[in-house]
């Protein structure tokens, strides 16, 4: 399998980082910048269409114009493409709930064989799945044939109380997302709603989004079955757990935080973790 990563070994062999030296690095040093996905015009249209689909109806919204909207959509489909428009040589079908999270990071439901031609246009370097089950053979073959790394951070289908969502698995997945060597990346679970929504919600906390905005995004993708336990997990998740596992020089530029802020958070989180370890040792030796 192409680059399968065992979450249990994710942080076992991480090198010790010289964080002071990193302050002298320029943002672009030693960065292998991903090439833009093919057919950007077509991809932009797909993203726009799917974003519109995830907009949940507002309470009291006037739906009397649905027929005219459908007619307008049909008219636009019948229009001849301009000379600059991209006409795919094969049918490109995105997975359900497909959307862009940030630059080079996408989310969706479970990709099937019919979605593979579309995924090729993204130039993916990695796929991160949140399902517990074995990955289908045809998906593994697709990853191998296209040199795509595979990360599996299995999370139980979160119909149980939110405490059942393993926070350490979310932390490992976030550390993988925050390494731009893995980009472009596709994140998915089964429906692309609840487990993926929890992970993206925790990512938004790292980006310093307000909880109101985070929950609004979660509900747009999980509609009509939003789960309060998912939102409670997002609210209670401590994003500080991620920082000790981050390599600052590979942080994406969309993380909002400046380089010095990131290094300060990493140093603080690492120090706190070290103190906790010493406290635990003292308790053990004192028994």
pLDDT of residue 169: 95
Please tell me the distance from the alpha carbon of residue 120 to that of residue 34, in angstroms, as a whole number: 14
Is omega for the bond preceding 184 within 30 degrees of 0, making it cis?
A: yes
Whether 198 is covered by a domain: the verdict is: yes
Task: Report CA-CA distances (Å) from 218 to 28, 90, 158, 206, 231.
Answer: 32, 32, 14, 15, 8
pLDDT of residue 88: 58
What are 164-168's contacts with CB under 8 Å, separation 24+?
A: 165/198, 165/230, 165/233, 167/237, 167/238, 167/241, 168/241
- Per residue in 25-65, pLDDT (tens digit) is 333 344 444 554 555 566 666 666 666 555 544 343 443 34
Burial of 198 (0-12, 13-18, 19+ CB in 10 A): buried
pLDDT of residue 17: 38
Burial 55-90 (b: 16+ CB within 10 A, else e): eeeeeeeeeeeeeeeeeeeeeeeeeeeeeeebeeee
pLDDT of residue 69: 43
Whether 130 is covered by a domain: the verdict is: yes
Whether 31 is covered by a domain: the verdict is: no
Whether 127 is covered by a domain: the verdict is: yes
Contact between 105 and 118 under an 8 Å Cβ cutoff? The reply is no
pLDDT of residue 179: 95
Whether 83 is covered by a domain: the verdict is: no
Q: Residue 184: phi, psi to the nearest 5?
A: -65, 145
CATH number, domain at 154?
3.90.190.10
Whether 242 is covered by a domain: the verdict is: yes
pLDDT of residue 263: 62
CA-closest candidate to residue 132, choices 149, 111, 153: 153
Q: Could you tell me the residue range of the domain that residue 168 belongs to?
A: 90-246
Contact between 211 and 235 under an 8 Å Cβ cutoff? The reply is yes
pLDDT of residue 254: 86
* Catalytic site residue from 24, 66, 189, 202: 189
pLDDT of residue 271: 61
- Per residue in 100-136, pLDDT (tens digit) is 999 999 999 999 999 999 999 999 999 999 999 999 9
Contact between 169 and 7 under an 8 Å Cβ cutoff? The reply is yes
Whether 251 is covered by a domain: the verdict is: no
Number of domains forming the structure of the chain = 1
Going residue by residue through the chain (287 aa), what tens digit of pLDDT does each one get? 655 655 444 444 333 334 334 333 333 344 444 554 555 566 666 666 666 555 544 343 443 344 444 444 444 344 333 344 445 567 899 999 999 999 999 999 999 999 999 999 999 999 999 999 999 999 999 999 999 999 999 988 756 554 478 899 999 999 999 999 999 999 999 999 999 999 999 999 999 999 999 999 999 998 888 788 889 999 999 988 998 888 888 999 887 665 556 566 566 655 655 555 555 454 444 54
Annotated catalytic residue 189: yes
Tokens of 244: 């000790």
Whether 76 is covered by a domain: the verdict is: no
């Amino acid at each position: 399998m192409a680059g399968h990563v065992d979450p249990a070994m994710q942080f076992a062999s991480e090198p010790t980082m010289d964080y002071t030296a990193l302050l002298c690095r320029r943002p672009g040093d030693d960065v292998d910048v991903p090439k833009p996905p093919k057919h950007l015009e077509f991809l932009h249209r797909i993203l726009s269409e799917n974003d519109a689909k995830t907009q949940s109806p507002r309470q009291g919204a006037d739906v009397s114009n649905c027929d005219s909207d459908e007619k307008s959509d049909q008219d636009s489909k019948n229009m001849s493409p301009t000379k600059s428009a991209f006409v795919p040589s094969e049918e490109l079908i995105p997975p359900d709930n497909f959307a862009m999270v940030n630059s080079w990071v996408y989310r969706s439901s479970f990709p099937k064989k019919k979605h593979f031609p579309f995924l090729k246009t993204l130039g993916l370097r990695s796929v991160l799945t949140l399902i517990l089950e074995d990955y289908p053979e045809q998906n593994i073959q697709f990853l191998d044939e296209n040199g795509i790394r595979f990360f599996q951070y299995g999370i139980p289908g979160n119909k149980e109380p939110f405490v059942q969502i393993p926070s350490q698995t979310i932390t490992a997945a976030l550390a993988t997302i925050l390494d731009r060597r893995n980009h472009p990346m596709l994140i998915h679970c089964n429906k692309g709603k609840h487990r993926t929504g929890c992970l993206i919600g925790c990512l938004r906390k790292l980006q310093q989004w307000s909880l109101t905005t985070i929950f609004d995004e979660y509900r747009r993708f999980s509609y009509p079955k939003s789960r309060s336990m998912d939102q409670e997990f997002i609210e209670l998740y401590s994003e500080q757990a991620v920082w000790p596992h981050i390599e600052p020089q590979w942080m994406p530029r969309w993380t909002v935080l400046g380089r010095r802020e990131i290094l300060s958070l990493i140093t603080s989180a690492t120090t706190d973790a070290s103190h906790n370890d010493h406290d635990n040792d003292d308790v053990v030796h004192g028994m």
